[in-house]
Amino acid sequence: MITTKQRAYLRSLANSIEPTTQMGKLGIGDTFLKTVSDALEAHELIKLSVLETCPQTPKEVMVSLCEALNCEPVQVIGRKVVIYRRSSKQENQKIVLPRK
């Protein structure tokens, strides 16, 4: 669980990144979960774009992804979702969170 201060730090980092993937009318499937999990492993902090055709709202997408992938919700702005998960590989651990 991340603190409010850590979430604010991650939000500031997310401002400069572009969405890595889009979620459309197919919703959350096994392939999409694998893609997002691989992106989290490589980058730790990712931004997703939820298209208008998606059957779920961006908030519902964030909750579903966090439950399925054991990641932390950072923010939802409009149709953009930002999530974070610390990489299990030492060489991919780039983000250092502020102390609690």
CA triplet 31, 48, 96: central angle to 5 degrees?
Answer: 105
Domain annotation covers residue 39: yes
* pLDDT on residue 15: 93
Place of tokens 């990712």: 46
* pLDDT on residue 84: 96
Q: Please, which residues bridge with residue 49 across strands?
A: 22, 80
Each residue's pLDDT, cut to its tens digit, for the chain (100 residues) gives: 899 999 999 999 999 999 989 998 888 889 999 999 999 999 999 999 999 999 999 999 999 999 999 999 999 999 999 999 999 988 888 998 988 6
pTM: 0.92
Domain annotation covers residue 35: yes
Compute the distance between CA of residue 7 and CA of residue 4 in angstroms, rounded to an integer.
5
The domain in which residue 67 lies consists of 4-88
We report the CATH number of the domain holding residue 19 as 3.30.110.60
Tally of domains in the chain: 1
* pLDDT on residue 26: 86
